[in-house]
Structure 1
Amino acid sequence: MMEEQFICDEKKFIRQEVEKMREFSFNINNEDGLKLFLKEGTAEIFGRELPQYTIQQFQKGDRFSIFTWTGCVLYLEYMSHSDFFQSTDESQYPIYANINQYLHEMRSQAQDQRKIGPKILICGPNQSGKTTVSKTLTNYCCKLGWTPILVDLDPMLNTVMAGGCIGACVCKDSYPTNGIEIKNKIIFFHGYSRIQLGLLKNQIEVLGNTVQKKLQNNLEQFLKKHNLQTAPDAEGAQQKTNKQKYPSQQNIQNSTAQIKLPSGVNINQMLLLPQDKQMFSSGCIINMPPLQSREQKEVIDLIIKHFQVDVIIGLDDQVFNSLKQNQLLTNGYSVIRTTKPSGLKTKEESELVEEARKINQKLFQQYFKGLNNDIDCHNQEVNLNDLLVYRLKINEKNSLANTSMQQQKQIYERVDLSKENVTKSIVGVLNLTRSSVEKLKEEEIFEKISKSTLSLLVHLSDMRTNQPYVRLFLPGLNMENIIKENVCVIGDITWFESSSDKKK
């Protein structure tokens, strides 16, 4: 979604009224995308307020909903009737608002007790609306003044970075619309558009521990700054939180009645809260990776363990019932059942892969050439023999469908790029010096590489014929030493610079 200065002829737009407490869903199929603006009333997209008289530009493949608490008037400009529109009063937004209130109370109590706030896992099958719920709850959370850590474990289409990566960042204002713009984040280079479970397992472990440490450090800094100590009864109270103070998941699920606003008060006025909310009490929101159903339990348990998850939002009956059968509800977890977002049109797997590819190509272009495609790529020619490059050894036994995570054994093997055609590949340069792995055993190398964070991405642009030289695209200047001194990893992620990517 992009915002443009309001300069338009209203005659070219179609007027669309949306009644209060209704949701208007879009699935954009038109090659030229869709433009719209809000003229009257209030509305939100993924829980983020839509400003009046500001043109919003959407691209082909975008799926989103506009919800209004009070009623609104939209103006739409589109060229194709193949676009899918749906208006419904069976919106999930009131449920999300109730869930958010529940989470807000948890965060408020954590703030009062000087404890780390809720760690929330959003889980469900593919195309169940996990990202929609993540966006909405993150935006509602930020609107209330909290600053949660957002964790995205989807390497196919990642919010925090481009495809092929997983990572986390602190959300101060809203859910990020472009991960390339985020400055302070922690990223792991997965390297593949299809999940490699052995690799994912190690990266979840390190990322979870890192997020926990970030929250704990923020708490300790807060206590030191204000000369405070943790409340003496906080630990016992925290264990009783789910059973005593907060509504059960059943109550949240059943509270689908429309939220009634007091006369003369709008939703934004109700969201004004006292200041001094901290990162530690904001907790984190985790978007689960897309996995096949029989692998979900292993990954859910792994995420719970390393992120110390205490709230789970299930978007599917099978997932919800599985959690109950595993007795998570009796082990201090709060499990909330909700349903697939309204108007979410299911797509074929091939469509999703192609859409993700196009989005990632755009993100790589912005990474190397600037958000407005107005920067010449920094490039450097290097000798391939000066690079230490590894690739994950892939075989059919590592297939997501055929092997459980406990049976996974993956290794990184060194790659001689001079003997392969790897032009257009994206390479991850890790925060790992080559001297730290040169004398390690095979299994030790896998542990080291898989648990190392990403320093930067480089693009193998062109290779000299019959010579071991390659021209690299870099995101900045003076990075040659980093590339030569650190370990590099290559997978199946590529960027093909199109004519539209070239500087105009």
Structure 2
Amino acid sequence: MTDSLPPRTVVLEPDSEFRFEVDFKNNASIKLIKGTAEIFGTELAEGNEYSFCGRKAAVYTWHGCTLEIQGSFLVEYTANETPMVSYLNAHLAIQDLRIKAKQANDMGPRILVVGPHDVGKTSLCKILASYGYRQGEKPLYVSLDTAEGAITMPGAVTATTINHLLDVEEGFGSSATTAAIGSVAVPLAYYYGYESPADNVKYYKLVTEKLASTIQRRLAADDESRISGSIIDTFGLVDHVGYEVTQHLVDVFAVNVIIVLGHERLYSDLTRIYNDRQDISVVKLHKSGGVVERDRAFRTQTQKAKIHEYFYGTSNYELAPYSMLLNFSDLHVWRVGETVAPTSAMPMGMDPQQAESELVKVTNLDMCLHSILAILDAEDTETEEQLLDSNVLGFIYISDVNENTRKMTVLSPAPGRLPRNHVLMGAFKWLET
């Protein structure tokens, strides 16, 4: 529900947009009264009220429209200069690649969207995915920005097929974040556990390579998705680590189109790096003038909101999470790259960089308090190397740890026993309120 402020009318001219921000403490609503409009490529239904909280977005119209807005907007204004025509042209070029792929019975386009923080990479990816779906395609949306948790949970690299319109209010909707553990609706995910690829470059490369390999196998068995291709959303690093990881992603995902958003130097450098690769196109697009820098506090709130959504659902699809008491022996808790011993104290022949992707058993379970743990799809008998190859079935939250009774209280989005006992711990903490 929005507050008691009276509704207001906003009239948009053709090729313009209404840009708005709503903080996490307030609610605001937007209703399309007349004309046509869209948010991130998804058309608004006339007369339907859409509610927003903790969002920064824009309502765009190609032909003009009238909106009714109500509630507490932190920022609100209209803009006549938008990059939407260039974004549409990018979609049309991608669609042409799909048509050629279908005629040749080949792989569809693999689009990698890169650029610094806060230039609208995720917004562009959503627009391209939505436009593709509206033309009958089912592109694969790949989220590699582990700080965002765009599809499931912060810390995960994830892929999901766009087989429905993106929800205007909830992004990827309840199917992505509120499906029960083990459900077929859960997107394909591997758990990295940190905000930035720079926190553990070797392990980030490992999990993205595993994700890419699994995607390739799935696409090989699904002609429709193979021709629709993939749209890959990335992190905001443009330093030497960002360049290194970007080139790794181009290789493992077999990228053939790189879209550089809002960064001239990055575009110039990538054009030079792939100058001799006739199979890779590097394209530059301008960022939207409505893109704003998100401070650390907003990013943290976004992460907390995403975690809360996973366990408690959304405003349109509420969940009642299940709290259970487990013995310490019921879970096998692991971390990656946590070896803190100096090189001189490591076992003979162990490379310090090797430790960055080594599994370490967590024996002091007090460390797990308020942590998000990823449930690995691995049997109890599997080796540590096999555990690193395992994708994620779902996530649980440790709300209490009692060393005296050797029991812990676990919050799960679904009742019943956990599907597996191997869990992976990352750096993300969450204090349930």
Report the TM-score range of the alignment, normalised by the length of the smaller protein.
Answer: 0.7 to 0.9
Counterpart for residue 294 of structure 1: 240
Counterpart for residue 21 of structure 2: 27
CA deviation string 1:104-151 (max 9, x = no partner): 111111112221110110111111111011011111111111000110
Q: 1:468: how far off?
A: 0.9
Counterpart for residue 185 of structure 1: 187
Counterpart for residue 349 of structure 2: none
Counterpart for residue 393 of structure 2: 455
Residue 379 (1) aligns with residue 323 (2): yes
Would you say the 8 A contact 1:428–1:455 is kept in 2?
Answer: yes
Counterpart for residue 182 of structure 2: none
Question: Normalising by structure 1, what TM-score?
Answer: 0.75
Distance 1:213 1:55 in 2: 41
Q: 1:173 aligns with which of 164, 187, 190?
A: 164
Q: 1:147 aligns with which of 130, 138, 161?
A: 138
Would you say the 8 A contact 1:37–1:76 is kept in 2?
Answer: yes
Listed as ranges, the gaps of 5+ residues in structure 1 are 220-277, 398-405, 438-444, 499-504
Counterpart for residue 69 of structure 1: 62
Q: 1:90 aligns with which of 81, 84, 99?
A: 81
Distance 2:337 2:186 in 1: 31
Counterpart for residue 336 of structure 2: 392
CA deviation string 1:418-449 (max 9, x = no partner): 4x253222211211223222xxxxxxx3x543
Distance 2:404 2:268 in 1: 59
- SS of the aligned residue for 2:269 comes to helix
| Structure with higher helix content | 1
Counterpart for residue 41 of structure 1: 35
CA deviation string 1:330-382 (max 9, x = no partner): 4311111101122111233x134323233223223336x9974452x333322
| Structure with higher strand content | 2
Counterpart for residue 404 of structure 2: 466
Counterpart for residue 220 of structure 2: 216
Would you say the 8 A contact 1:208–1:307 is kept in 2?
Answer: yes
Identity rate of aligned residues, in percent?
Answer: 22
CA deviation string 1:173-205 (max 9, x = no partner): 234533314615211122233443221100111
- SS of the aligned residue for 1:340 comes to coil
CA deviation string 1:443-479 (max 9, x = no partner): xx3x543332012222222233512111222233442
Residue 493 (1) aligns with residue 431 (2): no
Q: 2:129 aligns with which of 138, 142, 163?
A: 138
Q: 1:98: how far off?
A: 0.7
Would you say the 8 A contact 2:29–2:69 is kept in 1?
Answer: yes
Would you say the 8 A contact 1:424–1:494 is kept in 2?
Answer: yes
Counterpart for residue 281 of structure 1: 227
Alpha carbon RMSD of aligned pairs, Å? 2.6
1:69-468 matches, within 5 Å, as 69-79=62-72, 83-175=74-166, 176-178=171-173, 179-181=176-178, 183-195=185-197, 196-219=200-223, 278-315=224-261, 316-328=263-275, 330-348=277-295, 350-366=296-312, 372-375=317-320, 377-394=321-338, 409-410=355-356, 411-418=358-365, 420-437=366-383, 445=384, 447-464=385-402, 466-468=404-406
Distance 2:405 2:218 in 1: 46
Would you say the 8 A contact 1:156–1:356 is kept in 2?
Answer: no
1:118 to 1:427, Cα distance in 2 relative to 1, 3 A: same
Q: 1:475 aligns with which of 413, 428, 432?
A: 413
Q: 1:489: how far off?
A: 1.2
Would you say the 8 A contact 1:43–1:49 is kept in 2?
Answer: yes
Would you say the 8 A contact 1:389–1:490 is kept in 2?
Answer: yes
- SS of the aligned residue for 1:52 comes to coil
Distance 1:43 1:408 in 2: 51
Counterpart for residue 241 of structure 1: none
Distance 2:237 2:58 in 1: 25
Distance 2:237 2:253 in 1: 18
- SS of the aligned residue for 2:221 comes to helix
Question: Normalising by structure 2, what TM-score?
Answer: 0.87
**Matched residue type, 2:26:** D
- SS of the aligned residue for 2:373 comes to strand
Distance 1:395 1:20 in 2: 58
1:88 to 1:386, Cα distance in 2 relative to 1, 3 A: closer
- SS of the aligned residue for 2:202 comes to helix
CA deviation string 1:250-287 (max 9, x = no partner): xxxxxxxxxxxxxxxxxxxxxxxxxxxx2221000000
Q: 1:321: how far off?
A: 0.6
How many residues are paired up? 408
Distance 1:340 1:165 in 2: 26
Would you say the 8 A contact 1:215–1:280 is kept in 2?
Answer: yes
